[in-house]
Structure 1
Amino acid sequence: MKFKIRKASLEDIQQLGQLFDEYRVFYRQISHTARSTDFIKQRLLNNEADIFIATSEDKAIGFVQLYKLFHYIKLEKQWLLSDLYVQPAHRGKGVSLALIQRSKEWCIETGACGLMLETEKTNDISNTLYPRCGFILDQGHNYYHWWK
């Protein structure tokens, strides 16, 4: 299967919105394509995220969304690999690997010190994929969150 990876733009918003909705459903959220599309649109309009899209025959099949952060120890910019999704029919064909590789290249292009990410402990596919791509599991920290 041939596919391409490129930086997403507002022209991709409808396809990205659909993919982002599928991604949310994968994480047991109720489907809401319109809100998902608007969410992605706002990230692009406000320059709050950089998104790379995988396409095959001009159809979106996957994406990765990166948010800029800053590393307090390295005193440098870093990227949060927030969202990575490939449609089930296209998994196992190197699309995720290519999206991760493009994210690493983006770090180099933007002068960032690296990527960080998190995934559910039960996400066996991702927990196998990320170490294969050179990510190191940080077992020394607990990650907490607070939501209003």
Structure 2
Amino acid sequence: MRVSVRYASLYDLDALVPLFDAYRVFYGQYSDPGSARTFLAERLAHRESVILLAELDGEPVGLLQLYPLFCSLRMSRIWLLNDLFVAAAHRSQGVARQLMAKAEEHAQHSGANRLELSTAHTNKQAQALYESLGYRLDEVFRYYALDIA
């Protein structure tokens, strides 16, 4: 079995939508492939995100989505690693690790000085992966969110 990771485009929507929809369901959202397609198509068409697609012997098995941000203190680009998902049948095969490596390569080539991410407190498997790759839990800043209805 050979895993390859590449940049996704609008031509990859049929491969991306089931993975993205499953990712949302994993985090407690309802399945909505139509809206998932629209959301991803808009991100790609407007170049508002970078989506990486992992394929195993040509079959789509995982995705990772990055959003561009900037750090005022460092006056530099950073990337928010917002979405990482590997289909259940293909976990523990190094797919997520390869997606993460490609994300780091992308960040380096774009001149960014940091990748940031967050995950659910209960997602211990993802936390173990991130920590094994050198990501550190932020113990300096608190992050807050305000839902806008």
- Shorter-chain TM-score bucket reads over 0.9
CA distance in 2, matches of 1:119, 1:72: 24
Query: Across the two proteins, how many residue pairs are aligned to each other?
Result: 148
Deviations 1:23-62 (A, max 9, x none): 0000011100111111111100010000110011222100
CA distance in 1, matches of 2:18, 2:40: 10
CA distance in 2, matches of 1:11, 1:71: 32
Deviant stretches of 4+, over 4 Å:
none
CA distance in 2, matches of 1:18, 1:74: 37
SS at match of 1:131: helix
Alignment match, 1:136: 136
SS at match of 1:4: strand
CA distance in 1, matches of 2:41, 2:64: 14
SS at match of 1:116: strand
Alignment match, 1:108: 108
Identify unmatched segments of 5+ residues in structure 2: none
Alignment match, 1:81: 81
Identify unmatched segments of 5+ residues in structure 1: none
Structural mapping, 1:57-96, within 5 Å:
57-96=57-96
TM norm structure 1:
0.97
Deviations 1:46-96 (A, max 9, x none): 100001100112221001000000012211001000100000111101110
Deviations 1:81-120 (A, max 9, x none): 0100000111101110000000000011111112000111
RMSD in angstroms over aligned alpha carbons? 0.9
TM norm structure 2:
0.96
CA distance in 2, matches of 1:39, 1:59: 22
Deviates more, 1:42-51 or 1:52-61: 52-61
Q: What is the identity percentage for the equivalent residue pairs of Structure 1 and Structure 2?
A: 38
Alignment match, 1:13: 13
